Structure 1
Amino acid sequence: MLTAATNNIYVGRQPILDRSQALYAYELLFRSGNVEQAEFHCDVSATARVITSVFNELGLEQALGDAFGFINVSEDMLMSEALELLPADKIVIELLETVPPKPAVIARARELVRKGFRLALDDVLDLEEDYKPLIEIASFIKIDLLGVAPDALPDLVERFRPYSAKLLAEKVDSAEQARRCHELGFAYFQGYFFARPSVLSTRTLSAGETTLLRLLGMVIGDADTSAMEPLIKQEPALLVNLMRITNSVGSGSKRQISTAREAITLLGRRQLQRWLQLLLFCTQGSGKAHTPLLNMVATRARTMELLAERCDMRDGDPDSAFLTGILSLLPALLGVSMDEVLKTLTVDRCIHSALTDGSGTLGALLRLLRCWEEDATTDFAATLAALPPLSGEDFTVAVSEAMGWAAGLGQ
């Protein structure tokens, strides 16, 4: 069981991407799950206990996969010995802008760097003389784009260039900001532009996407295997992937799978449906399976499934919760409207309602995950309170397990 300190705390996160838009790290946010106290305010010892409990008891270190975790640290928390219980090879200590560069702070920061921790300076607006001792040992400088005038940004970048710290653009809210920061040489990027995919324009689905959606619709509709096999054969890459995953699943058997029909039978309808759902998010352009969008959709779907197992479901079930999470991000992936997606797939009424008007338990679970992804603390707390008997502890346990599951998909 978790310690009492974590009972009403949930872990938020926002992805940090590198220059190729691959996932590099997450900024981890610790929030109160109480409606009256949506933001996380408590004494430093309680804060430190929560963070160490989440890592040590929930296995968040493993859940991060290859990504790193940035954690906001106040002056008091910086001085806390509990901070050293965290894994130095996975954690970046992010000094809040409110931490003054006084001698004790600089000495403690140097001590933690010597112990293997990396340092990030948060919400930097200028290169101030007093902060140079911290800048010299920092691994990351987070430039707040909302606080720096666009015309002043190139000069600020040049002033930081002599230092070894990598520049991280935070609060990137548009494609134009992302493009400009990339041109200026920023190494990392963070902001709602990357964390909240949206439909930019309607486009025609590719042949591969159409095939995957048709197959997914057939599996949901419990079509005969003989009807699905010709579709799979039309896409050689799809057939190869199906054979590979099925032979992996059936590795305990001496017989190797050689036909699509055998693969579908061995894999099973439930696993086939999940594989098709996630495959849509693995085949876009770059060929990389470990993408931010795959992590986002996998974590969303798996968390919804785990929470559905614990809450009072008035509609749907854990499997429908997983499917709702997957389908909710298809418009962002494919560049089409939700109505267009649902024309291809015949889903249960509860899933349809959750996706179109946010109604029912599935709709509430989807809203909860969206609030978490966007760090909408007050709305998150209110939605959680309306989903008895779920607690902040239930959410943190579920999301930690889901993050670990999602991290494993890219390996």
Structure 2
Amino acid sequence: MIARQAIVNSQQSIVGYELFNRSRAPYGHTAASDVTLIFTALSHAGEEDLVGTKLMFVNCTHESLSGDHLDLLPPDKVVLEIPPLGHAAVSEVNARLPQLQSLRARGFHLAFNQTVLESAYTAWRPLADYIKLDLSVLAPDQLTVLVKFANRHSQAELIAEKVENAQQYQLASSLGIELFQGFWFARPTVMQTRLLTPSQKSIIQLITLAREQASTETIEEVLKKDAGLAFNLLRLINSAGFGMPREITSFKQAVMIMGTKKLYRWAAMLLTASRESGAPPAVGQTSVVRGRLMELLSVQSPSDIDADQAFVAGMFSMLDRMLGIPLQSAMALIPVPENVAAAVLRQEGVLGELLTLAQACESHDNAACNEIAQNLQLNDRQINCAHLQAVAWTDQVAVESL
């Protein structure tokens, strides 16, 4: 569960969303809950994006600011909200300064609350891209003084937060504040996030291979054996943060672009955020068997069928059941070649016939199986052997992961 609240400008156009983790552990806001929030935002597979192209404001703990998960974020799209240090001494503030300077140098935007205007935080002030002023605790005369001080001593844009009525908005606006957040504009909306969670065993296997800098082919094999891993990686690699000039549709390309270092960090974050909920394991296993069966048959058919595309079509043909949303919406979440989409959504083309054949094998529909087999110039022996190999290959995955 993630809540988001819009941050708007003076024309009431949305410039960003602040995200809140509504599924936190009883221990509250921790470095682990930060990782979970960011992973969920990156991997959300619902019909509506959490932030779209807007800025993403993320509350952080100081512990999470050094986390590897930040390497997976597009810095220019992210605002890290830095908490104060309580009753901080200047020495404590200065000790945190190098880390904040490093984040800023990497391209992240930094936001602070009004505490940064206190003398103890003078060293942080030049790093502020945004300063939030809490109207629920600031009297009008205090707000006036702070706005004037902030304008003189920082280059930050000011955000009036917790704006709950017209009078507060008018006051903030009259003081020159141009960004606003609060109930007067929009209440936080809670979104039921959808994640396709891989098995933890698969994630650990991927972490091990990435740490050992295994070959691209070896890592690709792991991805092909877990629909959750494959889906999440394609979602990430095609996100705005990677800025790919074209869509990446193959697992091999995704692994090569990510590199083992980032792949390791992503898998570690995935392990931290993974949950036991999600699609029943049998659904994911069936999708892998289906993909492998289609891959094996594509090689044996005289028809011109790309084996990799056959595997992708089979593996992702059950995304609707895995995500709990319509298949068309699910397929729209990841880039696939047009013939793969046509096969999965409408059973069109040679890939569509191959997918129908795989489904007929699963349901033991011999009549349909024989008819399609003739079209693809495949015989019963080829189909039966391929099906047995696909099941054995998938079962072997579970054994290797133990």
Q: Same fold (TM over 0.5)?
A: no
Give the number of the structure with larger relative contact order, counting CA–CA contacts within 8 Å between residues 6 or more apart: 1
Q: TM-score, normalised by structure 1?
A: 0.43
Q: TM-score, normalised by structure 2?
A: 0.44
Higher radius of gyration, 1 or 2: 2
